[in-house]
Structure 1
Amino acid sequence: MTARQRLSVVMIAKNEAALLPACLDSVSWADEIIVLDSGSSDDTVDIARQAGAQVFHAEAWAGFGKQRQRAQRYASGDMILMIDADERVTPPLRASIEAVLAQPPSGTVYSLSRSNLFLGRFMRHSGWYPDRVMRLYPRALNYNDNLVHESLDTQGAPVVRLEGDLQHLTCRDLIAFQQKQLAYAAAWAQERHQRGKRCGLFSVFTHSLGAFLKTFLLRAGFLDGKQGCLLAVVNAQYTFNKYSALWALNHAADKGRL
């Protein structure tokens, strides 16, 4: 009889004391929980340890992709479940994961359906559901090096969809959400600039308008009511911040060459 595969839940965290307890409770059944702390000044570390997690430290920030790589190095399980403090594994998703662990290793990557909260509503449209993310995978695989919007390097492994949702408390506070998006936009622009990507002023506005139309019309954001309308505007604003920041970096570099 094949032994059950061991599961390592892995997460990176900084100042997540408010969200961490519910997250850790939703994965308390895992064989081990690894938390890589990035210099928290609140009770994140104590909460994680009290919940039985193994806590490690890496305060030097090299981007989301490399930070997830660092965290995974401490894991010893056969399978990795990579989650964030603002995510929760629902009972149906747990059942699906347990079924995977009961099977022999296959090298398969599993995608989870993420249900995203936006201002009190779990969105069903707007491109936010089903928000498929590849989070359950063999330990031999890892994340790429992206500073932001990092993703799993599947190396051609087969991908299978799991039943059950991963709840994501994406936006509970609009200002805090936008502050986080602004940081993402800055990292995105810096990464693209370093790769030699350029952006004209016209494309700043066309991309922004396209983001609104894509969310509200093509992805049926209007069916999510008031939140769908607001999300379309927020997505347009985020896109504007990304491309205008890239334009500004390009412009500054061009002036420096004069």
Structure 2
Amino acid sequence: MDGLSTPKQKLSALIITYNEMGYIEKCINSISFADEIIVVDSFSNDGTYEYLQKHSKVKVIQNPFENFTAQKSFTLKQATNDWILFVDADEVVSNKLQEEITDTINNPNACEAYWFYRKFMFQNTPLNFSGWQTDKNHRLFRKSKARFTDKKIVHETLEVDGNSCILNEKLIHYCYKNYEDYKGKMLRYGQLKAKEAFYKEKQFNYLFMTIKPIWKFFNHYILRLGFLDGKKGITISYLNALGVLERYRELKRLEKKNELTYYLVMP
């Protein structure tokens, strides 16, 4: 009978990093149940790369960061197993979620990909509202059945050839370490979203630059009940709105740079 049993499925856990000390240690510990851990680092200068080099279970590779989709696609190519668990450096897989993942990939009726809902942490306390309560991401999937679309360079999207299901247990996301860290993250996202819009030939608009950040704050703080998170809700809603404002600022800068280049190369 043992000879007829289905072989245990192997799992590759993947992460991309840049200056993640303070996050990465918890993350690596929480995915140590995986058969393979591969980290692609964008030349961190805070000790992240050195920490990963010394970790006996981790294979770390350095690769220049172009955008999130390109970096994750590169990382995916490094995996040797078909089942992939892709987590961010500030995410933690609980013991219950570890068990659910293991049971899922060894289920012969498993879907090709799985959405994870996330539990957001503001430093070490839960952020229950502020627009994140319905947030979910593809994190577990078959490499042979999925790829990252090249249509987005931030908030990368997985295209799945098959069915997507949802896991019950939530992924813990330590989204907010401190004010400057989260502010920097939102500004970088805004700049990448601007590049994405610029490549799609979307034009800068003063009206949108005024209205969209206000709407973002109103949506997260009022409609998505951010006020129930108290001061945390105000902070998160404001910084998310700031990211939207930065998107339009950067789009304006890109258009001006493009115009200047055009006039300089004209005969």
TM-score where L is the length of structure 2: 0.88
Q: Is contact 1:5-1:103 (8 Å) kept?
A: no
Query: 2:142 pairs with 138, 144, 164, which one?
Result: 138
Q: Deviations over 1:101-123 (max 9, x none)?
A: 22126452101111112254321
Q: Which residue of 2 aligns with 1:52?
A: 57
Flag the 1:29–1:120 CA change in 2: closer, same or farther, 3 A. Answer: closer
Residue identity (%): 29
| TM superposition shift of 1:255 | 6.3
| TM superposition shift of 1:215 | 0.4
Give the length in aligned residue pairs.
Answer: 256
Flag the 1:7–1:203 CA change in 2: closer, same or farther, 3 A. Answer: same
Query: 1:179 pairs with 172, 178, 184, which one?
Result: 184
Flag the 1:239–1:42 CA change in 2: closer, same or farther, 3 A. Answer: closer
Q: Which residue of 2 aligns with 1:221?
A: 226
Flag the 1:234–1:16 CA change in 2: closer, same or farther, 3 A. Answer: closer
How does 1:54-203 map onto structure 2 within 5 Å? Answer: 54-58=59-63, 60-104=64-108, 106-140=110-144, 141-145=146-150, 146-155=152-161, 157-203=162-208
Distance in 2 of aligned mates of 1:201 and 1:130: 30
| TM superposition shift of 1:128 | 1.2
SS in 1 for 2:235: helix
Q: Is contact 1:216-1:222 (8 Å) kept?
A: yes
| TM superposition shift of 1:30 | 0.7
- Residue 122 of structure 1 aligns with an amino acid whose one-letter code is P
Q: Is contact 2:186-2:240 (8 Å) kept?
A: no
| TM superposition shift of 1:96 | 1.2
Distance in 2 of aligned mates of 1:102 and 1:167: 23
How does 1:236-247 map onto structure 2 within 5 Å? Answer: 236-247=241-252
SS in 1 for 2:101: helix
Unaligned runs of 5+ in 1: none
Distance in 2 of aligned mates of 1:51 and 1:225: 42
Unaligned runs of 5+ in 2: none
Flag the 1:257–1:43 CA change in 2: closer, same or farther, 3 A. Answer: closer
SS in 1 for 2:170: strand
TM-score where L is the length of structure 1: 0.91
Q: Which residue of 1 aligns with 2:42?
A: 38
SS in 1 for 2:185: helix
Distance in 2 of aligned mates of 1:248 and 1:55: 35
SS in 1 for 2:167: strand
